[in-house]
Structure 1
Amino acid sequence: MRKPETIERLYLDFDGFFASVEQQADKRLRGKPVGVVPYEGGVRSSVIAVSREAKMFGVKNVMSVVDAKKLCPDMVLVVQKPDLYRRANNAILAELEAIIPIDAVKSIDELTCVLDDEQRADPELLTYRIRARLRENIGQFITCSVGYAANRQLAKMACKAGKKSEGRYGSGLAIWHPQEAEQHLFKVKLDDVPGVGSNMFRKLMRFGIYDTEMLYNTQPKQMRKIWNNVTGERLWYALHGYDIQAPESQRGAFGHARVLPPEARSMTAAYEIARLLLVKAARRLRRENYYCSGLWIWLSLRQDGWTRTMKLPMVNDDQAVLSALKQGWDIALRDLGRTTTPFRVGVTLVDLTPAGERQTDLLLADDVERQRWEKASAAVDALNSRYSGTVVSVGDWKPPKGGNVGGKISFTRIPSAEDFW
């Protein structure tokens, strides 16, 4: 396993990306504290992104609007516009590619690059060129922090440390050369180490590991034991500066979820939104040439939640998955009652099989009918693609207030243009 002797990776993170894109797109928001909310009138929801001006008042992402307003009464609330953020991301990536090849886009506001010899020799100049190009061609309100280190893990940690330094937001720069990486690393809080979530943090406490230096000095086999898999051992090598990459993840599911606006917090309205979310998931399933054999339905309620997994033959058409949803929802109504108040709904297609490996269910003997429904779904997809919108659908197509059904931007996925049809 190779251990680089110099910096080889860049990690770039845009600060308050949704909020800064809003400020760049709307002059009226510039210089003001901005909080992005999931739906119109979202005073009972949380801010999903905040601008640097709001952060200076102590407002943080995923803070309730009520608490955020207590800290910053003048904060302007803006409803999220996922398609705007997607288009901004596309424009930014095109500008960055003109300076340095992008190795991996980690999320809509994070990416990593491999440095060539010239860039390793002068990372400050590379950072200046990146920021200057973005400022000139994208705008001055979308800013970024940049971290450099021997590998991706350390570069990400450097980037986060630089972002927090000296009270700056979106203008940090941190360079962790291998020979001095330890002194920077040991200043990082244990729960700020990527891969150490809240559950793992508590587990490390039980093992007597209380800070990053103690984690660093733990043996790799012990790390594997704590994580109960090879991930812990990989983390050990990454923290010690080795060039180690996690294997590519395999597609495991297609799903969508949505926080329900107040007017849709009933079992009847939630079902209609779940139906639209499921059609969007099925479209993605077909676009990427998969079949599924299961549907996972879940609801967030006032005190707890409800889930159900429905088994399916190997399918990818709208009729099959919508029938499973209806059956699952009937069970939910039986279990919860019609007066239950759901706050969030999600649907996920699971147990995936590549289209080329599909096998029909001999006992079910529905292949002729199934092929007809598949052809119908393919025809619907073709029409919607031709007109870049949902012009044909199975059942009514009435997106809820605020739209964005199936167009949610998650930590691991950037929607495509088709997700907004």
Structure 2
Amino acid sequence: MRKPDDIERLYLDFDGFFASVEQQADPRLRGRPVGVVPFAGTDRTAVIACSKEAKAAGVKNVMPIREAKQVCPDLILVPQKPDLYRRAHNALLCEIETVIAIDTAKSIDDLTCVLDESGQRDPELLAARIKTAIATNIGTYITSSIGFAANRQLAKIACKQGKEESRRLGSYGNGLAIWRPSDMPAPLLRVALKDIPGVGASMIGRLARNRVFTTAELYALEAKHMRKIWNNVNGERLWYALHGYAIQAPPQKRGMFGHGRVLPPEGRTIAGASEISRLLLTKAARRLRRENFYAGGVWLWLSVTDGSWMGKHHLAVVNDDQAILSALRSLWARVRRDYPRGVTIFRVGVTLYDLSPADERQIDMLDNDDADRRKWEKVNSAVDALNTRYSGTIVSLGEWKPPAGGHAGGKISYTRIPSAGTSGDGKLEDDDPGTRSG
């Protein structure tokens, strides 16, 4: 495996992306503490993103609104706008592309680039050109931190450390860290173990049981030992990444399609939650068809008063709304049996899983419903074509009444790039691909 002798990767992370986009779009919010919330009109949810001013006052992401207002009484709560963030993401990428080609953008607020000779020779100039392009052509309120290193993993860690250093120096939004191979591993060894991507809370415990408590101790392990601790090849891959090898992540495979939503107070009944879940699952089914997959099961998850409820329903390898929504109705019938007196539901999630590519479909011989499936697939093809043509849900199987705000499934995404779908009021909004395996 090749080990670069110079920096080869740039990792860029936008600072407080969702709140900073709100400030850039609305001059009234600039310089003020801003907290982005799921929807307006209630203090019973959480701040899901906050501006640098709010962070300076002690507000944190995923902090209950009431607690955030106690910490920062002047906090301005702004309902999320998924389509605004998607459009900002696309505009920012266009500006960055005028300076350097983007290699990968795996989420809405970060990206990586492969450096050419000029970028390797003068990374400070390259970073300045990127930030100038954004400030000049989009605005000064959307800022970024940038890390340079031999591979993506190290560049990502460097970026985070550069952001933290800029915050300590009082220049938040101007983070920059350059980790040349000749300087390694000294800057890496100063990083806390919990700040290494791939080392989560459960892995911290597993490493502790193997007497590994610091990044220096992790770095000193052998590759095979890390593979044994992780119990898979990811441990060994991490070893090579931390030691500066040019390692690429394997291509991800689609594992499922899904949506989740925190429910507004008026929608926290079984009836309200089931209606919203129907809209979410319809959106997931549209993406399933658009990406040429069939599903073999539906999963319903609820966050309820006393914990959670989960249920799965087998599908006969389908992708049409009639079959998928029929399975969802069966799952809700189970919910009603389990909670005959009703239950308060705070969050609902739906997922289509056990995927089959359209050209690899395996039909159960005992189902004998191919004729019905073909009929409903033709119906859905016509419906999808109409909705796509008019950029809105003008035809649907059953009534289409999105909750307040018009977003059936639109939400802030921290781990993926949203794509344009359609909402019930004719606006474009985010689609949530759900969890991917690989």
Q: Distance in 2 between matches of 1:338 and 1:320?
A: 28
Alpha-carbon separation, structure 2, partners of 1:416 and 1:408: 12
1:139 equivalent in structure 2: 139
Give the structure 2 partner of residue 375 of structure 1.
378
**Partner SS state of residue 203, structure 1:** helix
> Do structure 1's residue 279 and structure 2's residue 287 form an aligned pair?
no
Match of 2:190 in 1: 187
Question: Match for residue 172 of structure 1?
Answer: 175
The match for 1:41 is: 41
- Two-structure CA RMSD over aligned residues (Å): 1.1
- The residue type paired with residue 248 of structure 1 is P
- Residue 386 of structure 1 corresponds to 389
**Residue 338 of structure 1: how far off its partner (Å):** 4.4
User: In structure 1, how many angstroms separate the alpha carbons of the residues matched to 2:417 and 2:402?
Assistant: 20
Q: Does the 8 Å contact 2:305/2:343 carry over to 1?
A: no
Q: In structure 1, what is the Cα distance between the partners aligned to 2:221 and 2:118?
A: 35
Shift of the alpha carbon at 1:166? 4.2
How far apart are the structure 2 equivalents of 1:31 and 1:393? 43
The 1:302–1:170 alpha-carbon spacing in structure 2 relative to 1, beyond 3 Å, is farther
Distance in 1 between residues matched to 2:42 and 2:192, nearest whole Å: 33
Amino acid at match of 1:373: W
Alignment correspondent of 1:73: 73
Does residue 411 of structure 2 align to residue 408 of structure 1? yes
Is the alpha carbon distance of 1:93 and 1:166 closer, same or farther for their aligned partners in structure 2, counting shifts above 3 Å?
Answer: closer
Q: Counterpart in 1 of 2:315? A: 312
Deviation sequence 1:303-343 (CA, Å, 0-9, x none): 31111110000100000000000001101111233421110
User: Following TM superposition, by how much is the alpha carbon of 1:195 offset from its aligned partner in structure 2, in angstroms?
Assistant: 0.4
The CA distance in 1 between the partners of 2:380 and 2:341, in whole Å, is: 31
Gaps of 5+ in 2: 429-438
Cα distance in 1 for residues equivalent to 2:318 and 2:381: 13
Give the Cα–Cα distance (whole angstroms) in 1 for the partners of residues 60 and 256 of structure 2.
Answer: 30
- After TM superposition, list the pairs within 5 Å mapping 1:11-410 onto structure 2: 11-167=11-167, 168-410=171-413
How far apart in 1 are the matches of 2:341 and 2:270? 6
How far 1:180 sits from its partner (Å)?
Answer: 1.2
Mapped to 1, the partners of 2:222 and 2:58 lie a distance apart of 38
Runs (4+) of structure 1 moved beyond 3 Å?
none
Amino acid of the residue matched to residue 353 of structure 1?
A: S
Q: Distance in 2 between matches of 1:215 and 1:419?
A: 46
**Cα separation, 2, equivalents of 1:237 and 1:280:** 40
- Structure 2 residue identity aligned to 1:37: V
Contact between 1:107 and 1:412, CA under 8 Å: does it hold in 2? Answer: yes
Equivalent in 402, 416, 420 of residue 417 of structure 1: 420
The change in CA–CA distance for 1:110 and 1:419 in structure 2 (over 3 A counts) is farther
The letter of the residue matching 1:255 is: G
Deviation at 1:358, TM superposition (A): 1.4
Q: Offset of 1:245 from its aligned partner?
A: 1.1
Per-residue CA shift, 1:275-323, capped at 9, x if unaligned?
0000000000000000001001100112311111100001000000000
Q: 1:406: how far off?
A: 2.4
Q: Secondary structure at the match of 1:320?
A: helix
Q: Bigger CA drift: 133-142 or 41-50?
A: 41-50
* Higher mean displacement: 3-12 or 176-185: 176-185
* Partner deviation per Cα, 1:335-374 (whole Å, 9 max, x = no partner): 2334211100000000001111113322111111111111
Q: What percent identity do the matched residue pairs reach?
A: 62
